[in-house]
Amino acid sequence: MLSVFDGLRGMGFGAVLFRMVAACVCGALIGLERSSKNRPAGFRTHILVCLGAATAAVTGLYIYLEMKLPADITRISGQVITGLGFIGAGTIIITKRLTIKGLTTAAGLWTTGIIGLAVGSGYYEIAIAGTALVLLAETWIGRLGSAIIQPAPEYAVELLYNEKTSLDHVLRYCKDHRMAIANLKIQSLDDGEARYAAQVSLRGGVKQEELLDQVQRMPGIVNAIGI
């Protein structure tokens, strides 16, 4: 514990006001990074989340320490953490390719709220460290992860088959070879024959040429081409 903050850990007006301002600063720093990347939850959202969490923590302390009521000061904070999950869920979207976006923003909002709880409780040291680490994770560590982990290329194949179970065999093959299915479209062909067409978008695993070679050997597959 740093002694420089000792005079700001009480419940006086000055100490409480400092906590509110500190929560706004921590939320603003994290929100600026999200806004710079045009994320759905940006500058103002992070400020409000951090400030709201800090206010909840201060309120819990006030009820217990100043009003002397038999209250559980951790209950309000616990409800804040639960509520942050619902706010974060609103930033998560599923694209047309069935990929998920917004998880980092949701996690950042959740962490920002907890940082606000730390500020409101007077634990400034952990709030400062948490803010710095969040910014580090969302900037430098994020770029480092992208450089180390290169996303597998995505490609699509079009299948023509006359047995419904044929597609199951193809999908099983993809799963066994650790291929991620990004998108799948199936339609029944009205050409006088019981035939079906499917477009499958895949990522990772075997190369497209190898997959097509294996798929064309499967029973019920009429044709398989890359698109």
Distance (Å, rounded) from C-alpha 99 to C-alpha 202? 12
On whether the CB atoms of residues 126 and 134 are closer than 8 A, the answer is no
Under the banding of pLDDT at 50, 70 and 90, the label for residue 34 is confident
Reported as a pLDDT band with limits 50, 70 and 90, residue 137 is: confident
d(CA 96, CA 182): 9
The predicted structure's pLDDT at residue 151: 62
User: Which residue reads 């709201």 in tokens?
Assistant: 52
Judge if pTM exceeds 0.75: no
pLDDT at 43: 86
Among 226, 178, 227, smallest CA distance to 203 is for: 178
CA distance 23 to 127: 9
**Tokens encoding 12:** 């006086």
Q: What is the CATH number of domain 154-226?
A: 3.30.70.260
Any idea where the domains of the chain sit in the sequence? 3-148, 154-226
- Write down the pLDDT at residue 91: 74
Is the predicted pLDDT of residue 191 greater than 80, yes or no?
no
- Going by pLDDT thresholds of 50, 70 and 90, the confidence category of residue 132 is very high
pLDDT at 53: 93
Listed residue (39, 36, 51) closest to 115, CA to CA: 51
pLDDT at 207 over 90: no
* Over residues 203-225, mean pLDDT: 87
